[in-house]
């Protein structure tokens, strides 16, 4: 394989997981940003959440335009951080089903690897009940595709697992904070576009129009309840902790200055 293992920073993992848990009706997707070292270890430190043009319960697609925009974003991050950054992979969710990639996922991954052999895929299985404990469990897998029969056509692709390490981080990086803040906006835009498509049908009766509008409003309320409110509360809690930390550091600073004067 072109990749030995993947180090996924905890704040980037948080963004992926939050996105995967945002809906249990359709799959969601995004792109992974980072760098690769000489030992072929991928270091993923940022995530770009993608807006779905067509929401499907069992399929996601990334357009060439989204890949281009993500590459531009990676270049911007590279300049801001002063280190190499590029698109290293993609992630998507599997609500209510196993974490293993489908044959479509394996073929999609193979297509990406044609452009970059180091490209990897992450799958987050969410809302999947354990039959033994009757509790929902979260699973994640990292994979690449390999052609089992390179001498024949069409190719026969199979998944190959790539070791995945969740690397602790001291806080949430600016890029990951922006992705978390932007997530409710993206989900809202998806619902707005889906509702707008229903209004294009002029032959709908009044009851159907009222029903569609009610579903749209319900979806917006769910986004506020599930995504926006917990995010705001989390940021407020983090702000309070930072204030307490700053006060403690200021006290420590004054004590050190006093010791210097005394000596």
Give the model confidence (pLDDT) of 78-100 as tens digits. Answer: 888 778 888 999 999 999 888 99
Q: Is 183 within the bounds of a domain?
A: no
Number of domains in the chain: 2
Residue 197 near residue 204 (C-beta atoms within 8 A): no
Boundaries of domain holding 233: 199-262
The DSSP output letter for 226 is I
Let me know if 171 is exposed, middle or buried by CB neighbors in 10 A (0-12, 13-18, 19+).
exposed
The confidence score (pLDDT) of residue 105 equals 92
Q: Strand, coil or helix: what is 155?
A: coil
Q: In the Cβ-directed half-sphere of 234, how many Cα atoms lie within 13 Å?
A: 13
DSSP 118: T
Asked if 225 and 153 sit in the same domain, the reply is: no
Question: How would residue 53 be classed by pLDDT, with cut points 50, 70 and 90?
Answer: low
Residue 179, burial from CB neighbour count under 10 angstroms (0-12, 13-18, 19+) = buried
Report the side by side order of strands in the sheet with 86-95.
157-161, 136-147, 120-129, 86-95, 29-36, 41-49, 5-9, 164-167
User: Would 224 be classed as within a structural domain?
Assistant: yes
**Are 58 and 140 part of one and the same domain?**
yes
- Mean pLDDT over all residues of the chain? 87
- State the pTM of this model: 0.81
With tokens 């930390």, the residue in question is 245
Residue 186 forms part of a structural domain: no
CA 128 to chain centre: 18
Q: Output Rg (C-alpha) for the chain, integer angstroms.
A: 22
53 lies in some domain: yes
pLDDT at 70: 83
Output the six-digit token pair for 121. 């895929």
Give pLDDT tens digits for 218-257: 888 888 888 777 778 878 888 898 899 999 999 999 999 9
pLDDT at 1: 62
Last residue of a domain, one of 147, 167, 187: 167
Q: In this prediction, what percent of the chain has a pLDDT beyond 70?
A: 97
Same domain? For 84 and 139 the reply is: yes
Q: Is residue 127 in a domain? A: yes
Residue 190 located in a structural domain: no
């Amino acid at each position: 394989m072109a990749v030995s293992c993947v180090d996924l920073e905890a704040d980037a993992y948080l963004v992926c997981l939050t996105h995967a848990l945002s809906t249990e009706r359709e799959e969601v997707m995004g792109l992974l940003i980072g760098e690769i070292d000489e030992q072929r270890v991928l270091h993923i430190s940022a995530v770009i959440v993608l807006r779905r043009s067509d929401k499907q319960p069992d399929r996601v697609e990334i357009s060439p335009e989204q890949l281009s925009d993500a590459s531009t974003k990676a270049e911007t991050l590279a300049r801001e951080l002063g280190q190499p950054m590029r698109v290293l992979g993609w992630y998507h969710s599997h609500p209510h089903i196993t974490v293993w990639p489908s044959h479509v996922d394996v073929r999609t991954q193979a297509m990406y690897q044609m452009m970059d052999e180091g490209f990897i895929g992450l799958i987050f299985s969410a809302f999947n009940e354990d039959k033994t404990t009757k509790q929902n469990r979260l699973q994640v897998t990292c994979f690449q595709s390999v052609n089992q029969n390179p001498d024949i056509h069409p190719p026969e692709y199979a998944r190959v697992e790539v070791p995945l390490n969740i690397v602790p981080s001291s806080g949430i990086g600016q890029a990951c904070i922006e992705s978390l803040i932007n997530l409710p906006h993206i989900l809202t835009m998806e619902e707005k576009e889906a509702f707008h498509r229903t209004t294009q049908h002029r032959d709908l009766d009044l009851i159907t129009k009222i029903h569609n509008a009610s579903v749209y409003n319900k979806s917006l309320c769910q986004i506020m309840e599930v995504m926006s409110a917990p995010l705001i509360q989390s940021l407020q809690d983090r702000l309070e902790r930072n204030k307490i930390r700053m006060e403690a550091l200021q006290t420590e600073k004054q004590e050190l200055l006093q010791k210097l004067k005394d000596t």
